[in-house]
Structure 1
Amino acid sequence: MNAAARKIQTIYLTLTLGNTLAASFIWGINTLFLLDAGLNNLEAFAANAFFTAGMVLFEVPTGVVADSWGRRTSFLLGTVTLAVATYLYYFLWQVSASFWWWAAVSVLLGLGFTFFSGAVEAWLVDALHFSGYDGGLETVLGRGQMVSGVAMLAGSVAGGVIAQATNLGVPFLLRVAVLVAMFVVAFLLMHDVGFTPERSAHPLQATRAVLRASVDGGLRNPPVRFMMLAAPFTEGVGFYVFYALQPYLLQLFGDPRAYAIAGLAAAIVAGADIVGGWLAPQVRKRVRRRTTVLLASTLTSSVVLVVLLATSTFWLALVLLALWAVVASVGTPVRQAYLNDMIASKQRATVLSFASLMGSSGGVVVQPLLGRAADVYGYPASLALGGAVQLLAAPFILLSRGRRSPADAATGVAAAP
């Protein structure tokens, strides 16, 4: 890796570290926070579904912002929006607001995250290409996932411990403070490199042009389209499992106020991200096709979720959930690299945002359904049902594999299509 590429990687890892740390302060306690505010399981997971609905509504428009006005602009807007929405969440908890207020602010939270979803990854890939980096994308994306895992481990455990020592609202205020700091960091360090925003005297016309080109490079590109169609099943279940871990582990542990255990649930996923980020490029050196890795990750993690139905022991469930998280996290950098190698630079953020939209749309449907299953049949049954739902992604991955895209076997950063 040359000096220019190393600088880009350092900035990317810094942004990833700060953003994930800010977000993760509440990840270990979010479901408990909603339940403490007076919502039941259905309402709590419905609020999460409104969050993902916000992502569905705003993914493509914010992707267009990133491609039309710059990835740096999109990132800065995201920090401001997410900070405001997080503080409003804290306010709703203080006043024990009704469900529909939670739904509205959850949509705003979704908007905040969509400013990041396609922009940061698009910024990284284009800047690496411009700097002359010729290594595999899985390597840098895997390092990003490892840094994200470290930040999530620290933030989620700290959030759980701080909540137990103070109250469930304090981690939300910590998130706001770190987001403000990240605005300053991004303003000083993050500049669009290897990409020129498509600013125009006619913004609506420019927006239509970006969207049209994005559809051509996304939904009309068969291997990309099939990966997008797989996303609602894998990501929808992933959203649910992540948030269901908190009350599920507390239930097995036997102490509903052991918030540090809830933080441990997020820490499991964080540790898995570290291990998965390290393993992904190692696995790719030994497995020729990216879709092989994705199929193995999807099938294995689904089986683990189904097996959870047969255990009621806290420590055994902890081991199985750690295995689920590691297997799932190995596939994440591989999927990112596969998609990026099939997308043109000019529409990269928009197409990546559309891919994220497809995953979020699965969360809108899957989370409340599985939340309702947890109310009626219990958390183990809902997790097993989630494993069955996730299996539906496998045929779409096979269809993408069948198109034999060069990106399936690529080992370096592809030139922009």
Structure 2
Amino acid sequence: MAERATREETAPNPAARRVQAAYFTLLIGNTLAASFIWGVNTLFLLDAGLTNFEAFAANAFFSVGMVIFEVPTGVVADTLGRRVSYLLGTVTLAVTTVLYYLLWVAHSPFWMWAIVSVLLGLGFTFFSGAVEAWLVDALAATGYTGGLERVFGRGLALAGAAMFIGSILGGVVAQATNLGVPFLIRAGILIVMFVVAAVVMHDLGFTPAGRAHPIRATKEVFNASVKYGLGRRPVRYVMFASFFTTGVGFYVFYALQPYLVELWGDTGAYSIAGLAAAILSGSQVIGGLVAPWVRRRFRKRTTTIILSLVVSSLVLLALGVNRNFWIALVLLTVWGLVDAAAGPVQQAYLNDMIPSQQRATVLSFDSLLGSTGGAVIQPVLGRSADLWGYPGSLVVSGGIQALAVPFLWLSRRQGSPADVATDESPESPEEITEQGPPVG
């Protein structure tokens, strides 16, 4: 009876269920749109006449765009509202996706790909941090008493299902038509999501600060990012780790497409390229569902995060020395599972260390550091693929990703209450002060 009462107390109320339903809808739509090109993106760039180095340099310019625009778009999220930020993101991504298609049609020079890639990065910065911050604040406003891992885990599982469908369909559509059609489908879905978000997404538990002078607002957002992000030791070290993990993650995800096609032995097998994204999406579904279970196996969240990173790095090394297609599929599945299971745990850990008013800002700043890693690391790994092939670049990827482990260990050493927290409530400013000086 006591267990039943506990379950009833933590069950979402109708308002919290509506918030979660809206979040899941947005997540599914965004992922479905994006995943239509994930399975074929690298092949698309190579088909446009780019080299491996240029293809991953184009991806790096996407990361550069995220670095440039993270703080300014954080101003939008924290002053005009998370809903406005999301709507601007869908429009920007739809337009730039169509431009990508036109560059492919014209076999445009690399400098044009670089410019449009930066604009794609702008589109994604409107999303980064804003939707996640909107969810956490809205749940708090509606009296949700469950754990964040549960919501993030379900979201990850649903996004994985959408990614599975989109990546498979993207590969099949590309093989049946051409590599450009998935990009047009993606743009169409984004327009639909604009309409959906305009109806279901409303800022709850957060009052936009209103219009402010752009330069002054950007300075305030940057200062808040430093104070509540880099200025707090446990948060800072997680951000530093994201430089390595995000940079490597970007590269590996797209390098797996030509890597599997190469192992399969048929350069025109676009559906095989989509298989990489499909396997990762399936792993994401399972990993997202088991994330709360994984969290309960360890007292501290950082234990889960660090162990998953070590295993992930070892799997990348194994992928690099492997030459068998079927073994590669098994290793790829393991890689996706460990990353997906730890993802919601890290999200909850970071969110629980950030005050509500600065949440979108700090999460965007975390994304900024990750994007910086993508801008720096992807061209390096792309060049390593030109020199030593995709297997050699995966070995290098595993080594670079392992550099994040010491930073996560340092975050663990700070003893933040968020490391052992079991509910969704972020630390209050008073709790932040009680933890001691933020820098040092």
| TM-score interval (norm. to shorter) | over 0.9
Q: 1:197 aligns with which of 208, 216, 230?
A: 208
Q: Is structure 2 residue 280 aligned with structure 1 residue 266?
A: no
Contact 1:64–1:211, Cα closer than 8 Å, also in 2: no
Contact 1:64–1:349, Cα closer than 8 Å, also in 2: no
Q: Is structure 2 residue 189 aligned with structure 1 residue 150?
A: no
Contact 2:164–2:281, Cα closer than 8 Å, also in 1: yes
SS of aligned partner of 2:230: coil
CA RMSD of aligned residues (A): 1.0
| Mapping of residues 168-187 of structure 1, within 5 Å | 168-187=179-198
| Mapping of residues 208-357 of structure 1, within 5 Å | 208-357=219-368
How far the C-alpha of 1:321 sits from its partner, in A, is 1.0
Contact 1:68–1:207, Cα closer than 8 Å, also in 2: no
Contact 2:418–2:427, Cα closer than 8 Å, also in 1: no
SS of aligned partner of 2:323: coil
Partner of 2:108: 97
How far the C-alpha of 1:19 sits from its partner, in A, is 0.6
CA displacement 1:83-115 (0-9 Å, x = unmatched): 000000000001110000000000011110110
Contact 1:135–1:412, Cα closer than 8 Å, also in 2: yes
Q: Is structure 2 residue 65 aligned with structure 1 residue 54?
A: yes
Partner of 2:33: 22
| Mapping of residues 80-95 of structure 1, within 5 Å | 80-95=91-106
Counterpart residue identity of residue 145, structure 2: D
Q: Is structure 2 residue 385 aligned with structure 1 residue 370?
A: no
CA displacement 1:193-219 (0-9 Å, x = unmatched): 000001145454344333322321111
Q: 1:161 aligns with which of 135, 157, 172?
A: 172
Counterpart residue identity of residue 51, structure 1: F
| Mapping of residues 62-141 of structure 1, within 5 Å | 62-141=73-152
SS of aligned partner of 1:218: helix
Q: Distance in 1 between matches of 2:397 and 2:336?
A: 14
How far the C-alpha of 1:154 sits from its partner, in A, is 0.4
Counterpart residue identity of residue 331, structure 1: A
How far the C-alpha of 1:384 sits from its partner, in A, is 1.0
Q: Structure 1 151/141 Cα, relative in aligned 2: closer, same or farther at 3 Å?
A: same
Contact 1:129–1:415, Cα closer than 8 Å, also in 2: no
CA displacement 1:55-86 (0-9 Å, x = unmatched): 11111211121011100000000000000000
Q: Distance in 2 between matches of 1:358 and 1:382?
A: 22
Q: 1:7 aligns with which of 18, 38, 45?
A: 18
Counterpart residue identity of residue 327, structure 2: L
SS of aligned partner of 1:413: coil
Fraction of identical pairs, as percent: 64
How far the C-alpha of 1:268 sits from its partner, in A, is 1.3
CA displacement 1:298-325 (0-9 Å, x = unmatched): 0000001111233111000111111111
Q: Distance in 2 between matches of 1:228 and 1:349?
A: 14
Contact 1:75–1:116, Cα closer than 8 Å, also in 2: yes
Give ranges in structure 1 of 5+ residues lacking alignment: none
Contact 2:242–2:373, Cα closer than 8 Å, also in 1: yes
How far the C-alpha of 1:344 sits from its partner, in A, is 0.9
Q: Structure 1 204/46 Cα, relative in aligned 2: closer, same or farther at 3 Å?
A: closer
Q: Is structure 2 residue 421 aligned with structure 1 residue 410?
A: yes
SS of aligned partner of 1:101: helix
CA displacement 1:360-408 (0-9 Å, x = unmatched): 1111111111111111111111101100111100000010000000000
Give ranges in structure 2 of 5+ residues lacking alignment: 1-11, 429-440
Contact 2:351–2:426, Cα closer than 8 Å, also in 1: no
Partner of 1:384: 395
CA displacement 1:220-242 (0-9 Å, x = unmatched): 01100000000011111111110
Counterpart residue identity of residue 256, structure 1: T
Contact 1:231–1:359, Cα closer than 8 Å, also in 2: yes
TM-score by length of 2: 0.93
Q: Structure 1 201/252 Cα, relative in aligned 2: closer, same or farther at 3 Å?
A: closer
Q: Distance in 1 between matches of 2:97 and 2:211?
A: 33
Q: Distance in 1 between matches of 2:128 and 2:96?
A: 17
SS of aligned partner of 1:25: helix
Q: Distance in 2 between matches of 1:178 and 1:220?
A: 39
Q: Structure 1 349/256 Cα, relative in aligned 2: closer, same or farther at 3 Å?
A: same
SS of aligned partner of 1:229: helix
